[in-house]
Chain A
Amino acid sequence: MTAIDASHSGLSATRAAFRTCRFTGLKVDIAAQRLIMANAVAAVVFLAVGGLMGLLVALTRWPAVHLLPSEWFYLVLTGHGANVLLFWIIFFEIAILYFASAVLLGSRIAAPKTAWAGFVLMVVGAILTNVAVFQGDSSVMFTSYPPMQAAPNFYLGLIVFAVGALIGVGIFFATLVVAHGEKTYEGSIPLVTFGALTAAIIAVFTLASGAIILIPTWLWSLGLIAEIDPLMYKVIWWGMGHSSQQINVAAHVSVWYAIGALTIGAKPLSEKVSRTAFLLYIFFLQLASAHHLLADPGMSATWKIVNTSYLMYLAVLGSLIHGLTVPGALEAAQRRNGFTKGAFEWLRKAPWGNPAFSGMFLSLVMFGFIGGISGVVLGTEQLNLLMHNTIYVPGHFHGTVVAGTTLAFMAMTYYVLPLIFQRDVIWPKLARWQPYLFGIGAGGISLFMMGAGTLGVPRRHWDMTLTDSMHPFDLPSGGFLMMGLNGMAAVIAAAGGILYILITVGTVLWGKRLDKGEAPLTFPLHKKAATVAEYGSHATVKLPGTIILVSIFFLSFVLYYFVNWKYLSEIWLLR
């Protein structure tokens, strides 16, 4: 290092204040820590608002309860989508980006003041959109398809929020550059940071798509542009809408790896394979806009097939790889921890009482079995006809975004609280149950909505009895049963969600302070998490448990895929 470099880094070191985490040995930039805390708190606030709205939606769609009047139902459903799918998830993702860059690399965060400006923009945007929704003239659903029009502030809020998020993503990239330049780590960035980098790269594409379509739509709502083509809008809007779900996938897969490392000391089976899987996301996930246009006019079959399959399912391949390497890494770690009996001792004796581990594992299983399989089936060109815009679609994405992403983020919170907020988790007994409660509820709503959708129940629909319409007809009674079960599952999920909010807020306010004294963690880290020196890929290990689990998954996938082709072959002929 030259003298100039040394003085430069010395200068920045005086500007940034650090503490050393006594549990992990990580060097934590105080400015980064504050930003992570602010983004996490904002995330939880919007989860509380959006989650409550979700419960109201589910209770209205429960035929026997039918809670809200129709105007309120459509208003609340619009707010539910924006608050949980955008605000909760993206605030939490910005927190993850700062954690994966500044904290994991032991670096100062780049330009903290700009990062705060981004945070303020995100908060202002989120509030602006919420106000527009509650004023009542923006019940256009989260997707806001033209020619249906919302109030200008509905779009403006989303644009301002996206600009703020883009600044956060920029801070992440800049922090990587700073860490690299100041040599705060050796060799390559950790796998979790690599996953976060994947999420950030996809986020740039996504937010750019959002800007390209929402800015003209906003101008249109102000009367400055005459027309927005509905088909063009859908193509570009879903470049944001679906691709942003791939930010979630990259982020929550990173969280899976991180929690595996923190709780049982898991290392990737092979860095090369896991990183290549993330790389496949970057290359191919952006094609997903097509998933929303399979039943639309105008697109050729070739366009649909190439795009909907992410060019021959290469992004799905990325997820399938993680589907083996994540449980594989867990099994290998547990075997190294001494649980070597039979095929499944490693799983039986996993730390199921630690909500971070249980939440992560439930998220992994449900994302794969429910969200993943249903996503591929739904995204198959012809099969889409069977479920397009039925409530099967929300069933699918509650499997990915609620049972997958949200549950993974909740699990991660049980380490964000002690390691970043430096407060020990309160009510450990309740915390132990929280992921199960939320997981069962989220899995339930996904499956029951999928069931109702295969019976033809439409999505975003206030009255499935259709009794007030001009030419009423009956939807299958099984659909009503499914929507009732969905309501019950939503109540369970809401209980888990409320518990999460209470534990989180309670811990931040009243949890035992960990920055002073030597108190241990209620939910301990694996001892390997404290030794930064020991890392790298596993030596060759046999993984019979993982092979069995993955085989079960693959058989379910193939079976479900062909069952749907059989259904399709029985409907009216179309060409």
Chain B
Amino acid sequence: MAITPPSNRLWWNEPIERVEIGWIVVAFLWGLFMFFFMIAWHFIGGQNLSTETYRITPAAYEQKVIDFAEKYQVGEEVGTPVVRPPVGEDVYLLARLWEWWPLLELKKDQSYRIHLSSLDWQHGFSLQPVNINISVHPGYEQIITLTPTQAGDFGIACNEYCGIGHHLMTGRIRVTE
């Protein structure tokens, strides 16, 4: 029994049940498949998270985002600038307690290099209802190339707990045709 020592002291010499061998082979091959499918998706898939990352101080990043927002601002909503960068331009978004800043307007089916970083604590970029979720750290500037494939208004929630105002933290990306 499982709670007593094996009766056969040379238990490692015992033959293995056929059903066990069969399952081990199936499970091992399935594991290999899943492993190689992750690699394959980097070649065949359209959704892979970029790992391009730079060290940056929060103050330097804030300045970059402010410069970006001033350059391409087209309006304002509830005190937050609405920014429409030209197609192909680098786009900057910052996370801080408790907002995603600024609001963005992008064009459908165009690619943008989106920079993400936090000015204070860790935050979670959660684009809804698309459901793209990316962690945002202070001190690290991550750059992802994003191509919106739908038009409309998309909300950004924060899904990394960031203190008492965590549930108040939102932002927006508007995608136009």
Contacts and interface: CB of A to CB of B under 8 A. Distances in A.
A104 B6 CA distance: 13
Contacts of B124: 388-389, 458
A182 interface: no
A258 interface: yes
Contact of A190 (B4, B12, B127): B4
Contact of A536 (B8, B34, B41, B168): B8
Contacts of A174: none
Contact of B2 (A258, A473, A474): A258
A285 to B, nearest CB: 14
Interface in A333-381: 376, 380-381
Nearest to A571: B130
Interface string B32-50: 1011011101100111111
Contacts of B120: 147
Interface in B95-114: 98-99, 103, 111
Contacts of B14: 270-272, 537
A469 B24 contact: no
A70 B46 contact: no
Interface string A266-282: 11111111100000000
Contacts of A177: none
B17 interface: yes
A314 B6 contact: no
Contacts, number: 336
A223 interface: no
Contacts of B3: 104, 190-192, 257-258, 261-262, 529
Interface residues of A, number: 113
B19 A295 contact: no
Interface stretch (A43-51, A123-131, A297-305, A490-498): A297-305
Given A271-B6, A273-B24, A376-B34, A386 B131 contact: yes
Contacts of B73: none
Interface in A66-88: 70-71, 74
Most chain A C-beta atoms within 10 Å of own C-beta, residue among B41, B135, B163, B166:
B135
Contact of A273 (B6, B16, B99): B16
B48 A471 contact: no
Nearest to B111: A573
B137 A231 contact: yes
Contact of A534 (B7, B24, B42, B162): B7
Interface residues of B, number: 95
A250 to B, nearest CB: 14
B78 interface: yes
Contact of B135 (A148, A389, A561): A389
A185 interface: yes
Nearest to B2: A257
A325 interface: yes
Nearest to A470: B78
A162 B170 CA distance: 37
Contact of B45 (A257, A474, A568): A568
B31 A324 contact: no
Given A388-B124, A461-B167, A295 B4 contact: no
B69 to A, nearest CB: 15
B133 A297 contact: no
B34 A230 contact: no
B80 interface: yes
Interface in A466-525: 466, 468-476
Given A312-B35, A382-B47, A297 B142 contact: yes
A481 to B, nearest CB: 15
Most chain A C-beta atoms within 10 Å of own C-beta, residue among B2, B129, B146, B157:
B2
A274 B14 CA distance: 13
6 contacts: A140-B161, A382-B38, A458-B126, A461-B167, A537-B8, A575-B144
